[in-house]
A = this chain, B = another copy of it.
């Protein structure tokens, strides 16, 4: 096995072309066999194997900086940069990150997980490099989906203006997580079908010769192998970028040949590489969407797992039913159709479904425009991605109290995706915004009740639920929701646990059978149920618990409300500590942070509630 002899990128320089081809095969096998066990971003990583081998063959990491946008396509990069033996730990607690991470390896140039950040990072690095008189190379690998994100386009704009030396590789697989959208995507497709390749003989040469004699020479030499073409009539030209491509991203020798020749060019160059997501695993090639974030599978008979019923599906089912009776309802997603449970909705109501691509800000503000024009938009978004549209929530939606519902999925700790993806800051940045109402349902039925009530009652509303399993609600069931009222689920004589969202289950578990401990489904954070809080705060000790940072979250809101009520109740706030939480199973991570049943029991013990119960277990 060749792969086991690769300690770092320098070892690739010694291999023959034949050995490199073999290495590609071994890398694919390793990626498939490990993700079959652990799950992970299989399809993207399979698509980028040749590209990554070629990059490490030609460039000199860590001296040269290779930046992977999103960083989930970089499994081959991890395997080639000294992390092969730890690779089986990927996305597990204490193991390798599923993305590139600066603190994990000197070969990881950026810490990443969200899309479209690589170009701004590359811009900053190029400025720093030149200012400090250094001369390393900077290569940013960015997908076609990520490149159409506004932040990437704005960075491109500045890169083009400054003319900084760097190579941008457009890894074009015609997919972000959902099939890619947007006019530029259509444009890339045009490039892919090689409209201009066909004209290259006629048009290209003259242009090339005029613009860059060096490239002209290359084009001439490389023509057969790479169908290289540089052409003015493409959007990158307007951005002052040298455009080269499209080239076949699975032709290893062609890629190496091309990179060798591009690496010393000055100024920004964009190399357009066409790859196939899932390459090498037939099932993933055929259905890259469902293989984007793969669950563990049988490598002999690979089949994308359907999985059980989830909060995402509960939302998707609810919104399909609601749309049937509420014709003003429209659903918007920033490139997360499947992840947000909207496949069926999008099929049923294609005219009332908008996928704006990887552009969370556009998702929120186009919802504002819809609300201004009389619709009732629901923005389906992950908590971690709503971080990218805070200003739009404030400036475009909340100031005018527009009727926009934010359906926030993946709130709280999400698991294997780790610190870049945990949805643990949303309550802090949302609850400071006037006019915005915030609630979390305890189950799928309450999700339906809240969604219907939110649309009925108007104004901006944020509803928040976690990643993972939930029991389905009965079809057609649309219970009433008493807006702004908490729900006392269990009476207690000494302490009340106020639980927001997912942690309610832990609270019930911790309090089970103990008449001293009450439990409240504190489902509304804003407006907070001051009546219930006052009644409880006057007479009982309180514990708050939430799946969010302690700083600025639900417990913090309770402390503020008590101050406002003039109550000095005894309160213990349970939430995530003031550090980033690495990846791991949510249960493990909750235990570690003390926001599970054991953690609540510890807090109860501080209030003297222990007897008759098993001693709290460590961790």
Contacts and interface: CB of A to CB of B under 8 A. Distances in A.
Interface of A: 65, 102-103, 109-114, 117, 120-129, 131-132, 148-161, 181-187, 232-235, 238-241, 330, 351-352, 354, 356-357, 359, 361-362, 364-375, 377, 384-385, 387-388, 390-392, 394-396, 398-400, 419-420, 425, 428-429, 431-435, 549-553, 555-557, 559-560, 563-564, 568, 570-573, 578-580
A420 B182 CA distance: 29
Instruction: Name the residue in A123, A153, A240, A550 with the highest tally of chain B Cβ atoms < 10 Å from its Cβ.
Output: A153
A156 B365 CA distance: 13
12 contacts: A102-B400, A109-B372, A110-B369, A120-B362, A121-B372, A124-B369, A124-B371, A157-B359, A158-B356, A234-B238, A428-B552, A434-B549
A65 B559 CA distance: 45
A38 to B, nearest CB: 22
Contact of A428 (B110, B429, B568): B429
A552 B150 contact: no
Given A124-B366, A155-B356, A184-B239, 16 more contacts: A102-B400, A111-B399, A128-B370, A149-B154, A150-B154, A154-B357, A157-B357, A158-B366, A361-B388, A387-B391, A390-B391, A399-B580, A435-B579, A556-B559, A559-B559, A559-B560
Contacts of A560: 550-551, 555-556, 559, 573
B157 A184 contact: yes
Contacts of A240: 183, 186
Contacts of A419: 399
A121 B158 contact: no
Contacts of A420: 395, 399
The 9 closest A-B pairs by CB, nearest first: A124-B369, A150-B150, A160-B183, A128-B373, A428-B432, A150-B154, A235-B238, A120-B365, A124-B366
B368 A124 contact: yes
Contacts of A112: 395
